[in-house]
Copies of this chain bind each other. A is one copy, B any other.
């Protein structure tokens, strides 16, 4: 979805752009459905966090980004990586821990990164990406680049100190950062509203000095339009902005979490707000041929199944590679 190097296409009532958005959302959904299926069969080790219901946000955010814009992510980062331009098959290799994966098998799902497309990494620490994002923006500014930094985080992260520090930091140095809070209402096994006081992330951001808006994060069109506007502000040097995007997490915290405590009615209600179904009706309304929609689904399935199959068949990284990439000076070698 990122348009490498070039200017973003204008947002708004543009069928081609909305179709691209849709395609990205379907790819994210299909990537994770496929990964979850594989996970349940024991093909994928380690923790796996899927984001069913949240796809409009990464797709809508990255539609206005260039490849040289940088993005920091959190533990739920598949969508962020795909939308920023990472390759699904290489991601599967990493999820499987195989040779050729993005992190050479050292990271797994929770540490997906593709620096070549500006994706600076998923992060296993809640709010861990905030300071990194503002620093990336500060570095870009020092280098006189007009690339920007984008920071994706959940509602749970707004109760950690780095939220305050990083937003204040971005504001005082007028840094080119777009903060994006994906508010799915839950943090692990807790409803976030039960542990969050005040008027929410946008109110906090505004008070700290970062202009923020709350939007319906399940409406890809709204996300796209809002981001396009704010990215223009940020890129023009007007300082940081924040989007607080309301959304839903349909599934448990991890792939092994049944989330039995959640009210099934609420989860069902969330599914009626599916961002993909919603954009689909918009596209149909605007006259996109059903065959195109069908084709998008088929292509995504084929892409993901091929990626999965290749990953499942790929060799493990060599054991000596465990000793690579620790540090240049003072690295130890294998064999203890």
Q: How far is the CB of A170 from chain B (nearest CB, A)?
A: 8
Report A210-268 residues with CB < 8 Å from chain B CB. Answer: 210
Q: Which residues of B contact A208 (CB under 8 A)?
A: 197-198, 204, 207
A40 contacts B by Cβ under 8 Å: no
Contact residue among B172, B194, B203, B204 (Cβ-Cβ distance under 8 Å from A197): B172
Q: Which residues of B contact A168 (CB under 8 A)?
A: 159, 195-198
A163 contacts B by Cβ under 8 Å: yes
Contacts A168-B196, A172-B197 known; list 12 others, CB within 8 Å: A159-B165, A159-B168, A160-B164, A160-B165, A161-B162, A164-B164, A167-B197, A171-B197, A199-B207, A199-B209, A203-B207, A207-B208
Q: Which residues of B contact A164 (CB under 8 A)?
A: 159-161, 163-164, 204
A206 contacts B by Cβ under 8 Å: yes
**Interface 1/0 per residue, A149-166 and B, CB below 8 Å:** 000000000011111110
Q: Which residues of B contact A172 (CB under 8 A)?
A: 194-197
Q: Is the CB of B206 within 8 A of A207?
A: yes
Contact residue among B163, B198, B209, B210 (Cβ-Cβ distance under 8 Å from A171): B198
Q: Is the CB of A165 within 8 A of B161?
A: yes
A210 to B203, CA, bound (A): 13
A93 to B209, CA, bound (A): 45
Q: Which residues of B contact A197 (CB under 8 A)?
A: 167-168, 171-172, 208-210
Q: Which residues of B contact A161 (CB under 8 A)?
A: 160-165
Interchain Cβ contacts under 8 Å between A and B, 21 examples: A159-B164, A159-B165, A159-B168, A160-B161, A160-B164, A160-B165, A161-B163, A161-B164, A161-B165, A164-B204, A168-B196, A171-B197, A197-B208, A197-B209, A197-B210, A198-B208, A199-B207, A204-B204, A204-B207, A204-B208, A206-B207
Report A106-151 residues with CB < 8 Å from chain B CB. Answer: none
Report A171-205 residues with CB < 8 Å from chain B CB. Answer: 171-172, 194-199, 203-204
Q: How far is the CB of A171 from chain B (nearest CB, A)?
A: 3
A164 to B167, CA, bound (A): 12
A195 to B173, CA, bound (A): 8
Q: Which residues of B contact A198 (CB under 8 A)?
A: 168, 171, 206-210
Q: How far is the CB of A128 from chain B (nearest CB, A)?
A: 13
A197 to B168, CA, bound (A): 6
Q: Which residues of B contact A171 (CB under 8 A)?
A: 197-198
Q: How far is the CB of A242 from chain B (nearest CB, A)?
A: 12
**Interface 1/0 per residue, A16-51 and B, CB below 8 Å:** 000000000000000000000000000000000000
* Highest count of chain B CB atoms <10 Å: which of A165, A167, A168, A206: A168
Q: How far is the CB of A168 from chain B (nearest CB, A)?
A: 5
The 5 closest A-B pairs by CB, nearest first: A161-B161, A197-B209, A198-B209, A171-B197, A207-B207
Q: Which residues of B contact A163 (CB under 8 A)?
A: 161, 164
Q: How far is the CB of A129 from chain B (nearest CB, A)?
A: 15
